[in-house]
Amino acid sequence: MSEESPLKEPVRWWLAGIVLGMFALLTVLRITSWGGLDQTALFYLGLPAVVALLVVFTFRPRSAVGVSMAVLTLFLAMSGALLGEGLVCLVIAAPLLYAVVALVAMVAERIMDSGKNSRHAFLAVPLLMALGMEGIAGTTILPRAGAGTDSVLVDAAPSRVAAALAAPPAYDEPAALFLRAVPFPQPVAAEGGGLGVGDTRTVTFTPRTTLRPGDEPTPRTMVLEIAESEVDTDGGRVVFDVVEDTAFARWMDMHQAEASWTAEDGGTRLTWTIDYDRTFEPSWYFGPVQAYATDLAAGYLGDTFAAGAEAEVRR
């Protein structure tokens, strides 16, 4: 086809075949979670790389990079409804997917040009292959352990903050745009109370939907138990062990949540810290993203319990 001509009919059929083929592969991975590949770099780097290579080597459109982007966009749009809770990862990974498609398409075009720069383009191939293997057989580049933390100054005495922490909170919409834009599970209710060692909380989140015929949405919960507790008149510290987690287990392995508070400037400084292990690769992308999201989650907990403590003061 000429450089100025629109896409011819055979090319359109090739594009349709590529998108449908990738959609079928995603369907299999979504239903079976075969080998845990949908949590590895092979999925988030390898899949878009395959899209780009199929476009580049199958036909020569006016812009292979542009058509690769269009194919990926169609693929993402079609797969959104299919992914269910996996849509969170898809939304977060979208910038990475587009970057990989553009890079692979450009490298492949350079190699096919057989010019002087094609030899340099070959240097990117082993690097991309090595990065794509992260997560296979447990391999990782960056440490999996991480922690999210944030603090808020509460306009209430330490005793009121302790009382708010001891009672089930009233959950509201998070203030952070990232937490609102990405379809994370949202807490809707909590049961349990107290600040003594052994006291528990059961937090219910928005329900999960599945692809299995006849399945109804199932609730997602997190059960926490207080493992350490130090409460005084001017502050305290409580550590919650995550006993059971069906809300976030697919994205991270959460271990503990710690709340500490101390008197400051006529109010109380409340700090939340969430300890977790990252479960998604590539680490150099999902590591910073999960750290940012967990910092925001710690801030959301701070705002939630601060609101409860300040509401008690106003009564």
Residue reference for tokens 């705002």: 303
Same domain for 238 and 133: no
What's the pLDDT score for residue 251?
80
Collapsed DSSP state (helix, strand, coil) of residue 277? strand
pLDDT tens, the chain, 315 aa long: 344 444 455 655 665 666 666 666 666 655 555 545 455 545 555 556 666 556 555 555 566 677 777 767 766 665 555 555 555 667 777 788 788 777 777 777 776 666 555 555 556 666 666 666 666 666 777 888 999 999 999 999 999 999 999 999 999 999 998 888 887 889 999 999 999 999 999 999 988 765 555 557 778 999 999 999 999 999 999 999 999 999 988 788 999 999 999 999 999 999 999 999 998 878 888 889 999 999 999 999 999 999 999 986 666
What's the pLDDT score for residue 264?
94
- The dihedral of CA 58, 64, 67, 71: what is its sign? positive
40 backbone dihedrals φ, ψ, rounded to 5°: -105, 170
- Encoding tokens for residue 35? 């080998």
162 backbone dihedrals φ, ψ, rounded to 5°: -60, -40
| Structural domain includes residue 13 | yes
Same domain for 104 and 197: no
Residue 208's beta-bridge partner residues?
Answer: 218
- Encoding tokens for residue 58? 């199958």
Collapsed DSSP state (helix, strand, coil) of residue 227? strand
Compute the half-sphere exposure of residue 49: CA atoms within 13 Å on the CB side of its CA: 17
What's the pLDDT score for residue 222?
96
d(CA 199, CA 206): 24
Same domain for 87 and 30: yes
| Structural domain includes residue 102 | yes
Same domain for 107 and 197: no
Q: How many Cβ atoms from other residues are within 10 Å of residue 9's Cβ?
A: 7
d(CA 161, CA 268): 7
What's the pLDDT score for residue 82?
53
CA-based R_g, the chain, Å:
24
Q: Which of 264, 263, 273 is nearest to 301 (CA)?
A: 273
The domain containing residue 33 runs over which residues? 9-138
Same domain for 62 and 43: yes
Same domain for 207 and 155: yes
Same domain for 18 and 155: no
Is there a contact between 40 and 134 (Cβ–Cβ < 8 Å)? yes
274 backbone dihedrals φ, ψ, rounded to 5°: -115, 120
Calculate ∠ Cα 36-74-51, nearest 5°: 55
d(CA 48, CA 108): 13
185 backbone dihedrals φ, ψ, rounded to 5°: -60, 135
Same domain for 202 and 305: yes
Verdict on whether the full-model pTM lies above 0.75: no
Count the domains in the chain: 2
Single residue among 102, 122, 138 that ends a domain in this structure: 138
Q: Please provide the distance, in angstroms rounded to a whole number, between the alpha carbons at the two ends of the chain.
A: 75
Collapsed DSSP state (helix, strand, coil) of residue 307? helix
- Encoding tokens for residue 249? 């287990």
59 backbone dihedrals φ, ψ, rounded to 5°: -155, 170
